[in-house]
Structure 1
Amino acid sequence: MRIHYLIDEGGGCAHVRCVLPSVELARRGHQIDGGWGVPLTDDVDVVVGIRVWQETSSVEWQRLAAEGRTLIYDLDDNLFDIDPANVGPYSAYTPQALARVAANLEVATAVTVSTEPLAEVVSRYNPNVFVLENTVDGSLLHWQRPQRDRVTIGWAGSACHDADWASARRPLAAFFAKTPTVDLHLVGGDYRALLNRPDARRTDFAAAGDYHRSIDFDIAVIPLSWHRFNRSKSDLKLIEFSALGIPTVAADYGPYSRIEHGRTGFLVNQDHEWSKYLRMLVNDPQLRAEVGERAREWAAGRTIQGNAHRWEETYAAVVAARVGGASYQWPELSAGLS
């Protein structure tokens, strides 16, 4: 197939939803190109748009639809239910912007998303929804992360997690106050003040480069607030930490409820459990190693190298549906390729 990618928003989303699959699809012999304003030749089989929402790009997307192009709209977040506490994204996705997202979803031949709950949301705008779960590069499974003298608890993510950290601020701040011998390392968003740990290390995404190489945690934490937006989130953080052999303590909500409690990580339902499970892992190196290794084994099933065929199958099905027209019977792929 000849696949043309259009990216409307860069960063981690574009890397996971476009760069990783496109590189692997190219290795499998597919022709990959991309870019806005590039004249599309007749031999382009499918155009994949990553979170197309801005005004200029939406005009282009609608023009491609009017031309009869086979379009796949890819979405990784529930943009229709952003928590107002995340001021940046909430202010960016205005009612006008969301109207453009809805219109762009409606004219697409099909839509790909990262989770089943997100598929439910998107199906209001387009019935042809395919779930392609997020993946990581298989090389992560073999990286040896840096080791430090003191046990390090860490987290990685953007600055759009104020509500998530606020949901666990009191128990986590209390834990760190009572455990001064444990280091804290935040990669990306800066929540040191919230946790009353101004001395903690923080690595900025821009300075980190390939940010995975800056992850030197012995234990990862993933707080998550109970909100509709988070219900549709993917488990990407968990996959990344697990691939690196890091045991995770996470809120038992949304994508992280798939953790096998006590085996591939620990799930928190009550505030006191943050301290309980973190202390268990801090005090028991063998437990950290065993849980981390089982987490790595689980993450081995979530590499792009092992799942690129799902992108192939989905794109091929969408192209076939377009060629077949109204008589084409859509395959049972929308039930989830996860």
Structure 2
Amino acid sequence: MTDIEVFGWQADQAGGYYRIQLPLQELAARGHTTASSVFMPDFVRDDVNTIVIGQRICHPHATRLWQDLAAEGHKLVFEIDDDLWNIDPSSPRDHKFFGDEEIRANLRRNIEVAAAVTVTTEPLADRLRQWNPNVHLIPNAVPDWLLAHQPRQRDDGTITLGWGGGATHRMDWERHGGQIHRFLDSHPQAEIHCLGVNYVGMVGVPQERARFTPWVANVEEYLRTIDYHVGIAPLREHIFNQSKSALKAIECGALGIPVVASAVRPYQDYVQDGITGYLVRHDDEWGHFLSALAHDHAMRVGMGEAARVRAAQQTISCLVPLWEKAIFG
């Protein structure tokens, strides 16, 4: 087996793409020898020269192994991209799991023994510095090929609003779903497409105007499934969301799709209001901004082009030097 310079220990298959697989793919393209898996191979554990990036390691068994790796002299990099200490009860499974005192203690201990910690946003970096001073802020990046990809959008006059994401966003739809429903109710030529977790039912539109695509085989296939004319990014003002990244807006922007997003961090820090999309500060602005984009093809195209220029600064080839510094520095 070829000696591995860097091994990425993923928390799961899908969640490991942006923070493990994609950075390691780019590092491999730059000449490093990398590998990743949700399992820890013996040949990695036995080679003390292998740097291990561990994604939110906190399960008891994984924690014992992580602590053993630290004691044996492995260089460890702890990767985390969510504020797991402030998950809202509207996501009951995750709230219960990460609210467990043992799990919280494991997170703290595993962060403390790492040589470095990588995070996506400054609020998250600020939280983790209490346990490890060597925190590296590395924003989420998209694959470079996405900038040249043209989404397969409907051309029959129907305007598709789109969203994709996971199970911690229920509180966001509870807060803003009614406004999106009002827009769809008054615009019969529009539909909504949800990817990942299905929040279509919270919008309350007829079945023929609501599409749902469950999680697909991998993230690259997910990105090729995006077919919106307008991306929507509802986000409730909540401490958990303050540590979120603007990944939805970056994905859409790379595809030339403008977004309408809640004017809260992280979107407030990324979306160029009126240029790459719109930021919603008051409830009635959802309908106003969505209507403007739905009725103006030239505006959608122009904002989409500007969003693509913005997203070109967030590709993995642009940001991989930050990963190199965190891992090898």
Residue of structure 1 in register with 2:204 after alignment: 196
- Deviation of the 1:37 alpha carbon: 4.1
2:31 maps to 1:6: no
Residue of structure 1 in register with 2:31 after alignment: 29
1:81 aligned counterpart, secondary structure: coil
* CA separation of 1:102 and 1:220: change in aligned 2, threshold 3 A: same
The one-letter amino acid paired with 1:206 is V
Residue of structure 2 in register with 1:221 after alignment: 232
Separation of aligned partners in 2, 1:69 and 1:207: 32
**What are the equivalent positions in structure 2 for 1:1-338 lying under 5 Å apart?**
2-11=5-14, 13-34=15-36, 35-39=39-43, 40-42=45-47, 44-93=49-98, 94-148=100-154, 149=156, 150-199=158-207, 200-206=210-216, 210-258=221-269, 259-317=271-329
- Deviation of the 1:63 alpha carbon: 0.5
- Deviation of the 1:105 alpha carbon: 0.5
Separation of aligned partners in 2, 1:96 and 1:180: 51
- Deviation of the 1:198 alpha carbon: 4.2
2:162 aligned counterpart, secondary structure: strand
Deviations 1:150-206 (A, max 9, x none): 111111112331101111022111111111111111111211221102410111113
1:173 aligned counterpart, secondary structure: helix
Contact preservation (8 Å) 1:48, 1:71: yes
Residue of structure 2 in register with 1:331 after alignment: none
The one-letter amino acid paired with 2:300 is R
- Deviation of the 1:143 alpha carbon: 0.7
Separation of aligned partners in 1, 2:206 and 2:104: 38
* CA separation of 1:67 and 1:208: change in aligned 2, threshold 3 A: closer
Unaligned 5+ segments in structure 1 are 318-338
- Deviation of the 1:314 alpha carbon: 2.0
Contact preservation (8 Å) 1:241, 1:247: yes
Separation of aligned partners in 1, 2:12 and 2:326: 22
- Deviation of the 1:31 alpha carbon: 1.3
* CA separation of 1:41 and 1:254: change in aligned 2, threshold 3 A: same
- Deviation of the 1:147 alpha carbon: 2.1
2:145 aligned counterpart, secondary structure: helix
Deviations 1:239-278 (A, max 9, x none): 1010000000000111100211000110001100000100
Separation of aligned partners in 1, 2:48 and 2:71: 17
- Deviation of the 1:33 alpha carbon: 2.8
The one-letter amino acid paired with 1:3 is V
- Deviation of the 1:208 alpha carbon: 8.1
Contact preservation (8 Å) 1:8, 1:54: no
Contact preservation (8 Å) 1:8, 1:57: no
Matched-pair identity in %: 37
Deviates more, 1:106-115 or 1:43-52: 43-52
Contact preservation (8 Å) 2:48, 2:74: no
Separation of aligned partners in 2, 1:46 and 1:197: 50
Contact preservation (8 Å) 1:9, 1:51: no
The one-letter amino acid paired with 1:233 is K
- Deviation of the 1:95 alpha carbon: 2.2
Separation of aligned partners in 1, 2:144 and 2:136: 23
The one-letter amino acid paired with 2:256 is G
Contact preservation (8 Å) 2:78, 2:114: yes
RMSD over equivalenced CA pairs, Å:
1.6
- Deviation of the 1:315 alpha carbon: 1.5
The one-letter amino acid paired with 1:28 is R
- Number of positions where the alignment pairs a residue of Structure 1 with one of Structure 2: 316
Give the TM-score normalised by structure 1: 0.90
The one-letter amino acid paired with 1:113 is V
- Deviation of the 1:24 alpha carbon: 0.7
The one-letter amino acid paired with 1:100 is N
